[in-house]
Amino acid sequence: MQNEMKMPERVCFVGLGKLGAPIAAATAAAGVEVVAVDRDAERVAAVNRGEAAVEEPGLDALMERVGRAGGRLRATTEVVEAVGGGGAEMTFLIVPTPSGEDGGFVLDAVLAAVREVGKALRMSRRRHVVVVTSTVMPGSTAGPIREALESASGRVVGGDDGLGLCYSPEFIALGSVIRDYLTPDLVLIGESDAAAGDALEAFSRRVTLNAPPVRRMNLVNAELTKLTLNTFVTTKLTFANTVAAVCEGLPGADVDVVTGAIGLDSRVGSKCLKGATGYGGPCFPRDNRALAALGRSVGADVRLPGAVDAVNDGVVDRLVGMVEGVSSADAPVLVLGLSYKPGTGVVEQSQGLMVAERLAATGRRVVVHDPMGMDAARETLGGAVGYAGDGRAAVEEVSGAGGAVVLATPWPEYAAVGSVMRGGVLVDAWRGVEVSGLAAGVGYVAVGRGADGQGVRSKAEAA
C-alpha cells in the first residue's frame, strides 16, 4: 500500500527538557539515529558535547554510552533543519503544555512546534509520523493540532502521501525517566490511521526492553486514557492517606499493616497505597484538575477528582498540625525533603515545601534541607526559611535545641536521621526510621500510626 509505514531509523525529538533529554538519549542508546531540537542553545550545545542537558539520574552515564557507540544523538535549535535536512521519519513533540485558568492545558507550544514541523514536511513528500507526547486535552490532537499540521505542511493526515499523526504520552516520573521509558507498564498509542500506529508500535518495540503490552486506539480515547490513569492513581494515593488519618486517631492502628493487607487483593493492588505525604509534582495535580475541567465541559459529575484534590491539600494541614502538637511555638523546625519525590530536584506542588512554607508563616523558625531541590525551593520560599547546607549538622542543631525534625521526602540520605537526633521530636511522614535507633528521650510521631494522647512515642514507650 502506498501509505504503509515501517520502523523509523531516524527520529526527531522536539524538546530537551526534563523528559525530552533523557528520552532522546535512551532512544539513541537503543540504536536509533536521533536529532533533538530545543530553543535553549545551552542545552543543544551540551548534547553536542556529549553531556547531559538536564539533571536526571543515569543521564550522564547514558550520554557517555551514546558517545562511545558512535554519536547517534545530535541537537540543533532549528526544527526545519532536524525534520527536513536531518531526514527524520518520525517526530516526537515533548514540549510544555501548562495548565490554563479553567484547568485545561494550553497548546501554544505544541501548536508552534507543529507548525514548524509542518513547514519542514512541506518541502519533502517522504512518509512521516508526528507523535504528540505532551499531555493535551481530549479532542486536541484530532482538532487544532491536526489542523495546524495539515495547514503548515499542505498535506492530509492519513492520506495517500504518508503523513501520520499519533498521540502517545509517556507514563514516567522524574527521577526514574530512563527506567520508566525503557521498561514501561504499557505503551499507549492513539493513531490517525493504522499505518501511523504500525510505525509507532514498531518503534516502541525496538526501544523498550520489557516487551510491554501495547494498546492502540483512536486519538481521543488515548488522550482520555492519559488523564484518567493519572487521576485514578491520585485517587488511590489519597485513599491511603485517608486511611492514615483514621489510623492516627486509633491507639495501636498502623496504616502500613492495613494497606499491606488490602493491597494483596487483586482488585486493589499494592502499588501507590502508601499513606504518607500527599501527591505533588508536575503531572498528578494538574491531570486531576484537567479531568475535572473536562467533565464539567461535557456535563458529567466530576465531584470525585475535586474531592481527591481537597483531601490531598488537607494532608499538609494535618502535618503542620502534627508538628504544632508535639513541639512548642518557640522551638525550631527542620523539614527534610523539599522535592516532591526522591531522585529529582523538582519542588512543584511538593508537600514538604508547603509544610515548610506554612510553618514559617506562623512565625516559627524553619530550616530546610534537600539533596537536590534547594535552589528550586529558594525561588518559592525566599528568605522565609533558613537553608541548611549539611543535613546531618542541621538535624543535630535543631534536635539539640528541642525542635522538631520532619521527614517529608523519603530520600535514602535521611534513613539514619534518628540516630543523629539529640533531643526534640521526629515527625516521620514515611515511617522510614526505626524507633529502636532513636536516642533515649527523643520523641517520635509517625503519620498513619495511632499513639498516646499526644501522638508522641519515645524510645522507651515504643519498646
Average pLDDT, whole number, for the chain? 93
Quick one: pLDDT at residue 4? 57
Q: What percent of the chain has pLDDT over 70?
A: 95
Distance of CA 144 to the CA centre of its chain: 26
**In the predicted model, what is the mean pLDDT of residues 360-372?**
97
Confidence band of 50 (pLDDT split at 50, 70, 90)? very high
Span of 8-12, 23-27, 330-334 with lowest mean pLDDT = 8-12
Confidence band of 441 (pLDDT split at 50, 70, 90)? confident
Which residue's entry shows cell 516487551?
Answer: 211
For residues 432 and 213, which has the higher predicted lDDT (pLDDT)? Answer: 213
**In the predicted model, what is the mean pLDDT of residues 130-142?**
98
b/e sequence 405-414, b meaning 16+ C-beta within 10 Å: bbbbbbbebb
Other C-beta atoms closer than 10 Å to the C-beta of 11 total 24
Confidence band of 456 (pLDDT split at 50, 70, 90)? very low
Is the pLDDT at 452 greater than 80? The verdict is no
Confidence band of 209 (pLDDT split at 50, 70, 90)? very high
Quick one: pLDDT at residue 2? 43
Quick one: pLDDT at residue 123? 81
Total-model pTM: 0.91
Residues 6+ apart with CB under 8 A from 54: 16, 17, 18, 21, 22, 43
Question: Half-sphere exposure of 288 toward its Cβ, with a 13 Å CA cutoff?
Answer: 27
**In the predicted model, what is the mean pLDDT of residues 2-13?**
75
**pLDDT tens-digit readout, 55-66:** 999 999 999 999
2-6: long-range contacts, CB 8 A cutoff, minimum separation 24: 2/160, 2/162, 3/127, 3/158, 3/159, 3/160, 3/161, 3/162, 3/193, 3/195, 4/195, 4/198, 5/127, 5/129, 5/162, 5/164, 5/195, 5/196, 5/198, 5/199, 6/199, 6/202
Confidence band of 5 (pLDDT split at 50, 70, 90)? low
- Three-state secondary-structure class, residue 144: helix
**pLDDT tens-digit readout, 381-436:** 999 999 999 999 999 999 999 999 999 999 999 999 999 999 999 999 999 887 88
- DSSP E strands: which ranges in 42-149? 73-76, 90-93, 128-132
Question: 441, 381, 376, 434: which is closest to 407 by C-alpha?
Answer: 434
The alpha-carbon radius of gyration of the chain (Å, integer) is 24
**pLDDT tens-digit readout, 73-84:** 999 999 988 998
Other C-beta atoms closer than 10 Å to the C-beta of 462 total 13
Among all residues, which ones are annotated catalytic?
Answer: 283
Q: Residue 50 in contact with residue 64, Cβ under 8 Å? A: yes
- Determine how β-strand 443-446 pairs with β-strand 404-407: unpaired
- Three-state secondary-structure class, residue 10: strand
Confidence band of 439 (pLDDT split at 50, 70, 90)? confident
Confidence band of 68 (pLDDT split at 50, 70, 90)? confident
What distance in Å separates the CA atoms of residue 430 and residue 428, rounded to the nearest whole number?
6
Is the pLDDT at 458 greater than 50? The verdict is no
- Three-state secondary-structure class, residue 378: helix
Is the pLDDT at 266 greater than 60? The verdict is yes
Residues 6+ apart with CB under 8 A from 109: 95, 96, 97, 134
Other C-beta atoms closer than 10 Å to the C-beta of 374 total 18
Is the pLDDT at 461 greater than 50? The verdict is no
Quick one: pLDDT at residue 460? 38
Q: Residue 415 in contact with residue 395, Cβ under 8 Å? A: no
Q: What percent of the chain has pLDDT over 90?
A: 87
Is the pLDDT at 167 greater than 60? The verdict is yes
Confidence band of 463 (pLDDT split at 50, 70, 90)? very low
